[in-house]
Structures are given as structure tokens and as C-alpha cells.
Structure 1
Amino acid sequence: MLLKDAIRYYELTGCDFQNDLKDFGKLQRNFIQGYIQDDFTEKYESFTDKLLILWTDRQGGVKQILEENIELPNHSELISLYCRTIGEVKESEVETEIITFDDDLLKKHKKDRKENTIVELISAMTAVDIDITQFLDMELELVYQILEIVGEKRKKEQEKAKKQRRRV
């Protein structure tokens, strides 16, 4: 998903795309493993409805779609449109596959507070005086990779400057 779409997703739905995608991935993995939750349909449709809201907004709104008689995408088209990965996909052969089930009811833990990663990303970019507009048309994964590389380079530069100060 593009950064500008992730920001708009948050504005329209009030939800963080990264967290919703993580929950959707968990839902899909459980389905593939044969564990279907009682609220599977509600969770699946909730995520795809949010994607449809975003798609509708990107098309110009409901009025524009009705005037131009644009056909609505189905669930799989929405998912493939907004939930794609970039980069190399590593496929490896697995001889024996271990299946683990994550049942939240069996775990004794405090409810995890989910961070809003999009807001965190924007605030991090703002804190280091990066012009966000140049990243709006980039995929989220690419933006994270760029920031990681920039962070590593800055860290190396700081270590190098620190060593040079010691020598003086």
C-alpha cells in the first residue's frame, strides 16, 4: 500500500492499516491451518469493507462511482490491489510442517496495546525533518526500508565522528 493510501485509510476508518493487515494475515493463516474462528466472517468483511471505503474515496466518492457506473471490485480484487508485497519472496521447501494454533483465549496475558504505525512513521519522519511529500507515492515497505538504511548510515556517521573526537 502506498503511504498516502495508508494515511487516507487511517483518516477514513480511524484504524491503522499495518495492524489491520497483521490481524488479517493471522486470520488467513488460521484459516489455512484449518482453524476457523467464530467471528471469521465479521473480521474478514470488516477488513475488506475498510479497503472498499478507501477504494471508493480514491475513485472520487460514491457519487462519482454512481455517475460513471463504475463496477465495484470484489474482496479478492481489493486485497490484491492494496495488500501486495514488494521485494523478493523467499520460497523454501518444507518437508515437515509444524502447525501451531494461536488461541487468544488460552493465553494469559494483558491485552496488547497496538501502536498506530502510520502515525509513528509520520512523526518519525517529521522529527528528523524529512519532507514527507516525496514518499507519498511509495509503498510502505519501501519507505520503511529507506528509513532503516538512512538510520544505519546516520548511526555509522555518528560513531565515526565520535571516534574522530577521541583521537583529537
Structure 2
Amino acid sequence: MKIIVASKNPVKINAVRLGFEQMFPNEHVVDVEGVSVPSGVRDQPLTFDETLTGARNRVDNAQTEYPDADYWVGLEGGVDLHGSDMAVSGWVVARDRDGLEGKSMTNTVYLPPKVAELVAGGMELGEADDIVFGTTNSKQSNGAVGILTGDVLKREEGFMMGVVGALIPHRNSELY
């Protein structure tokens, strides 16, 4: 099974590998390759709708550039305002060579006001996290959710659960 992940981020690539292994334990996951393709949305999506669009655009672009795969998976993290609070979540879109598409959100957590203020001011979440929490390159490691939970929940696990959700139609294709 060849899977193209529309990201070079090692957290996202590993989340896809783990999600496929969980959902298809009898399949041999041969190749999981991360590629860089544009999302077609802002670097920091500011609504969950924009975040889903970014994940879907990544799948479209990966499928166009790398057509010889069994699956293409796009993962996009973004924020959304709920009143005066800002939440962070991610969308995962998984498409197979027959065109069947599944999608799912990761867990959603609310950001501390200082982080939300920086993001609302135009900063990417990873950069805002690094400033507020004194970390470096957190978006390619534990991310906001890992920092805020003391690594009880890691970014990779959240994306892996999103991958599992996005693979439901593929595991149950007779229903979709």
C-alpha cells in the first residue's frame, strides 16, 4: 500500500502511518511518503471551514503531482473563534484511488488568551506557542495540545485519531 501524505512534517507523516496500521492491521503499509504541496489557504487558517479546505486542497494537489498512490492524505491544523475564545483543531482528509473520500477533525482545545492574541494578530500558532511557552519548533513536535497537557496528549496522537476517523469510509466502503 502506497500512501502519500501532503506534508513533510514528521509528526503528520507518523500519525498517518499509525492511523493506517490501526485501521488496517492486516494490510501491509509499504510506503508512507511525505510531500510538500500547497494548501491554497492562509499559512494559519482562521476558521475550521478554511482548515478543511486546506486539507482537501492538499489532497487534490498531492494526487495531481503524485498520481501513483493508493491513498492521499491531507492534514491541516487551524483555529476558529467561538465568541471571544479561540480553539485549535485539525482536519484530516483521506482519499483513495477510486475517489472515495473520508474526513475527520482531530480533538479541539481552547488556547490561552496570550496565544490567541498573537494568532489573532497574524502570527502562526506554532510561532505563538514558541514565544509564549519558550519552545522551539513546537509545531513539528508536541504542538499546543502537547504543551498544554504536559504531553498527556501529543499532537501526533491527535492527528492519528483524525486519520482513524477519516479512514472510516475506507474501512466500511459498502456503507459509503
**TM-score of the aligned structures, taking structure 2 as reference length:** 0.31
Which structure ranks higher in relative contact order (CA pairs < 8 Å, sequence separation ≥ 6)? Answer: 1
Larger-gyration structure (1/2)? 1
Structure with a larger share of its residues in strand: 2
